[in-house]
Amino acid sequence: MKVKKDKVKIITLGCSKNLVDSEHISAQLKNGNVEIVDDENKANTVIINTCGFIQPAKEESINTILAAVENKQQGKLKNVYVAGCLSDRYMDELKIEIPEVDKYFGATSKPKTMYDILNTMGIDYKKNLIGERSLSTKHYAYLKISDGCDNPCSFCAIPIMRGGHVSKPLKEIIDEAKKLADKGIKELLVIGQDTTYWGMDINRKREITKVLEALSELNGIEWIRLMYAYPSRFPDGLVDVLANNEKVCKYIDIPIQHISDNMLKIMRRGITKKQQIHLLESLRNKVEDIAIRTTLLVGHPGETEDDIKELADFVRDFEFDRLGVFTYSHEEGTHAHTYKDDASQREKNKRHKKILDVQKKVSEKKNREMLNRVCRVIIDRKEFGYYIGRTYKDAPEIDQEVYIKSNKKLIDGNFYDAKIYDYEEFDLFGEIIHN
C-alpha cells in the first residue's frame, strides 16, 4: 500500500541566511516521504521559518503564524510548525500566546532544530545530504560560510538568537558550492553575520580571502559576491582579491551603520570615523569601478541632530553606489535596551527619509552617468514585456535592476551586453547588443 505523502509549505521570513536554512531543511524533507509545495493552499503542513531581528520583522512573523493558525482552525491545514529566530527568542511567550501551533522549534541555523523538525515529521536525518539544498533560486544562490556573531554592537539581537561566531569548515563550503555549480548556479552570494570574521575560531586569523580564492577555482561559477563585510578590523589582502580576482565581483556590502564618532562609540562598532573613511577610500582607490553598498541605522538612542547632519553630509559627499537605511528598534536583551529610546517613531522615520532623499540624488546622478555605456548583465526573469537583469554592481533582491528590451529571446541566467538608454533614480533601461 502506497503511503500518501505529506505536502509541506515552508514559509521563509527575514534574511537570506534563513533562506539557506530552509533550503537545507527542504532537501532533507524531500528525501523523506514529503512533497514540498509552493502553494500553501495545496499543503497539509506549514513550517514557518521566522525572523526576530527588529520590530517590523517580528510583527510580520507573528501575523504569518496567526494566518496559518486560522487556516488550521478552518480545516485547511493539519499541522503548523514554527521555527527560526523569533521562535528561538520568544518560545515560552509564543507557546502561551499562540498555543494552537503544533510545535515550536529553535533557530533553523542550529543542527538540533533540523533534527527536531525531521524527527517530529517521522523522517531520519541523512548525513549524505550535508550541503544539499532544495533551491528556491535558479541561477544564483546564497552561500552561508558562518553563523552567529562575536561583535558587541549595541543594537543587535542576533547573538542572542544565533549565538557566537562559528565558521563553516572550508571543505564543507567548497563541497556545497560544487553542488550548487552542478545545479547550474552561476552567481554565489557569500553570506554570514560577519563574513570578514571567517577563520577566527579556526586558527585565529581572518581568512575570508582563502574562501574567495577557493570558490573562484570552481567551474561554472562566474560571479562571486561578498556580503555583510564588517568594517572593523578589515582583513589584510581582501582589497587585493577584490581588485585582481576576475570571478570576485568588484562589489562589497560593508554596513558602516553610522559615520559620527559619537554614534560609532555608542553603537560599540569598534571603529572611528577616520578609520572608516580610510577603508572606504582605500577600496575606491585600489579597486577600479568598485561598487560599495552600505547599510545605515538611524534613530539609535543618543543620536543628535548634529549626528544626522554629519551622516547626511557624508552620504552626499562619498556617494555610495548602493545604500539601505533602517530605523532603530528597541530590542530587549541588547546593550542599547539599557538606554532610553529617546526618538519617537515619527522622528526616526523623518531621519530615515532625510538620508534616503540624499541617496536618491546620488543614485540618480550615478545612473545618469551610465547613459550610453555598455554593461554586462545577468538576466533574472521576464516581467511586463521587459527582461530584467543586473550588473555586477547589483545584488539580487536588494539593489537596482536593468530593464531590457530585446527582439530576441534572452535566457535566464545567461550574460549579455546591454547599452543603457534611459534611467530612473534606482533603475536602468537598456537594450541588448547582439553579436
CATH number at residue 356: 3.80.30.20
* Residues paired with residue 103 on neighbouring β-strands, in sequence order: 81
Same domain assignment for residues 83 and 214: no
HSE-CB for 76 with a 13 A CA cutoff? 12
**134 within some domain:** no
Q: What is the pLDDT of residues 164-194, one digit of tens each?
A: 999 999 999 999 999 999 999 999 999 999 9
Query: CATH no. for residue 415?
Result: 2.40.50.140
Question: What's the pLDDT score for residue 33?
Answer: 82
Is 405 a residue whose pLDDT tops 70? Answer: yes
Q: How far apart are CA 399 and CA 83, in angstroms?
A: 28
Residue 14 in domain: yes
Report whether pLDDT(435) > 70: no
pLDDT tens, residue by residue, 19-38: 999 999 999 999 988 999 99
Q: Which pLDDT score, from 0 to 100, does residue 130 have?
A: 81
What's the residue count for the chain?
A: 435
Say whether both 18 and 122 belong to one domain: yes
Instruction: Give the C-alpha separation, 265 to 298, whole Å.
Output: 14
What's the pTM?
Answer: 0.94
Place of cell 537596482: 400
Number of independent structural domains in the chain:
3
- pLDDT value at 1 more than 70: no
- Inside any domain, residue 278: yes
Residues 43 and 158 in one domain: no
Asked whether residue 98 falls in the same domain as residue 184, the answer is no
Does 258 lie in the same domain as 341?
yes
Whether residues 299 and 164 share a domain: the answer is yes
- Classify residue 190: in a domain, yes or no: yes
pLDDT value of position 2: 45
C-alpha cell at 277: 573613511
Residue 3 has pLDDT above 80, yes or no: no
Cell of residue 230, nine digits: 564588517
Please answer whether residues 139 and 413 qualify as being in contact, where contact means their C-beta atoms are separated by less than 8 angstroms: yes
- Of 75, 92, 127, the residue at which a domain comes to its end is 127
Same domain, 273 and 156: yes
Which of 315, 348, 368 terminates a domain? The answer is 368
Among residues 368, 383, 412, the one where a domain terminates is: 368
Structural domain boundaries, residue 15: 6-127
Q: How many helices (H) and strands (E) does the chain have?
A: 13, 18
Residue 14 and residue 78 share a domain: yes
CATH number at residue 69: 3.40.50.12160
Chain centroid to CA 180: 18
Q: Is residue 1 part of a domain?
A: no
| Together in a domain, 256 and 174 | yes
Rounded Cα–Cα distance for residues 212 and 235 (Å): 13
Residue 305 lies in a domain: yes
Which contacts qualify for 172-175: CB closer than 8 Å, 24 or more apart? 172/130, 172/131, 173/143, 173/145, 173/211, 173/214, 173/215, 174/214, 174/215, 174/218, 175/130, 175/131
Question: What pLDDT score does 4 carry?
Answer: 59
pLDDT computed for residue 53 by the predictor = 87
Assigned domain for 132 exists: no
Specify if 135 maps to a domain: no
Q: Name the phi and psi angles at 276, rounded to 5.
A: -65, -45
pLDDT at 434: 72
Same domain (yes/no): 221, 338:
yes
Half-sphere exposure of 425 (CA within 13 A, CB side): 8
- What average pLDDT score do residues 261-280 get? 98
> Residue 144 gets which letter from DSSP?
E
Which one, of 303, 405, 396, 392, lies nearest residue 350 by Cα? Answer: 303
Is 357 or 3 the better-scoring residue by pLDDT?
Answer: 357
338 and 410 belong to one structural domain: no
Return the sign of the alpha-carbon dihedral for residues 387, 393, 394, 399: negative
Rounded CA-CA distance 170/210 in Å is 9
For 70-87, what is the mean pLDDT? Answer: 96
**404 and 313, same structural domain?**
no
Mean pLDDT of the chain: 95
